[in-house]
């Protein structure tokens, strides 16, 4: 299986070595698309995918994601960024240019619940989740064998109320040492401190086991059972200092009824959780998400 994944990865890197993505957010006005596409034409680029959205054509914010092929893209990236900065200044753009095959480096945090972690590992092993998994961190030991069998380092860092600051210090040191730029909380049942979140703004993706904004906090399935809901869901969002209130990337639901007890809700919910997290993570890895205030624009 490792050989299959490596072959698929190498094929991907070879096939997309000249592909890049340009993400833009700016005040809406005339001429944005014309300026961007003309620039890409002058660079010898061929646009293969383009998505755009405006909150309001009159004084709103305009969002654009363009994917394109350009010969010798890796070598040209720095010069292209320098030239595009002139256009960006004219239109007051917030923007970023990324290479398609410049894979993000990811770390996964997990506690006792294993379903989200196993889904991500399976998709990664199958070549469907294109990222460089640097390591897995857990406050429990029980997933070590499954993770290390795939050649992924596993760090057991226990969490206590008295030693939480030291725990986070160790975690942050590992993340920086390995230059991790994407952190996934795959049912990591610990609240991160504001100091930790501030180190990685909009780089931490969480899966919450309810359809937010309903049932924020702990034991949402028990809350849902007491409320007698007819739908349960899961929400993947970026982590901020406000618990479970960061920008939402993806959500999904399933129907339930009066016959579902808390354990039944959890069983159905686990399926939703792992699929929602995987979708949200893929969109993030593919630079399909632009954060706007406390919302996201997702060009899925």
Residues with a catalytic annotation lie at: 244
Q: What is the dihedral of CA 42, 44, 46, 49, to 10 degrees?
A: -60
The residues that bridge with 289 in the sheet, in sequence order, are 298
Instruction: Report which of 242, 251, 254, 253 is spatially closest to residue 296, judged by C-alpha positions.
Output: 251
Q: What share of the chain is helix, strand, coil (3-state, %, to 5)?
A: 35, 25, 35
- Whose tokens are 């479970």? That residue is 244
How would you class 39 by CB atoms within 10 Å of its CB: exposed for 0-12, middle for 13-18, buried for 19 or more? middle
- The Cβ-side half-sphere exposure at 161, using a 13 Å CA radius, reads 0
Spatial separation of the C-alpha atoms in residues 121 and 102, rounded to whole Å: 20
């Amino acid at each position: 299986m490792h050989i299959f994944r490596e072959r698929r990865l190498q094929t991907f890197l070879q096939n997309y070595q000249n592909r890049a993505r340009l993400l833009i957010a700016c005040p809406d006005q005339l001429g944005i698309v014309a300026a961007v596409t003309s620039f890409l034409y002058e660079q010898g680029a061929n646009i293969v995918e383009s998505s755009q959205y405006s909150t309001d054509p009159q004084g709103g914010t305009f969002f654009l994601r363009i994917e394109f092929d350009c010969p010798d893209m890796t070598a040209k990236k720095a010069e292209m960024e320098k030239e595009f900065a002139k256009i960006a200044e004219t239109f007051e753009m917030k923007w970023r240019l990324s290479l398609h095959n410049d894979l993000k480096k990811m770390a996964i945090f997990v506690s006792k619940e294993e379903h989200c972690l196993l889904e991500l590992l399976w998709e990664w092993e199958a070549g469907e989740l294109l990222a460089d998994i640097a390591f897995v961190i857990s406050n429990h030991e029980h997933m070590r064998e499954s993770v290390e069998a795939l050649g992924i380092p596993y760090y057991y860092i226990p969490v206590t109320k008295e030693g939480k600051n030291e725990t986070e210090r160790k975690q942050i040191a590992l993340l920086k040492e390995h230059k991790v730029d994407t952190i996934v909380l795959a049912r990591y049942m610990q609240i991160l401190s504001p100091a930790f979140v501030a180190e990685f703004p909009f780089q931490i993706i969480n899966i919450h086991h309810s359809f937010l904004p309903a049932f924020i906090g702990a034991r949402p399935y028990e809350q849902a059972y007491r409320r007698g809901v007819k739908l349960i869901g899961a929400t993947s969002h970026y982590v901020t200092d406000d618990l479970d209130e960061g920008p939402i990337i993806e959500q999904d639901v399933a129907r339930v009824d009066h016959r579902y007890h808390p354990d039944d809700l959890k069983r159905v919910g686990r399926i939703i959780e792992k699929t929602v997290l995987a979708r949200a993570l893929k969109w993030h890895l593919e630079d399909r998400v632009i954060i706007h205030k406390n919302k996201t624009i997702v060009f899925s």
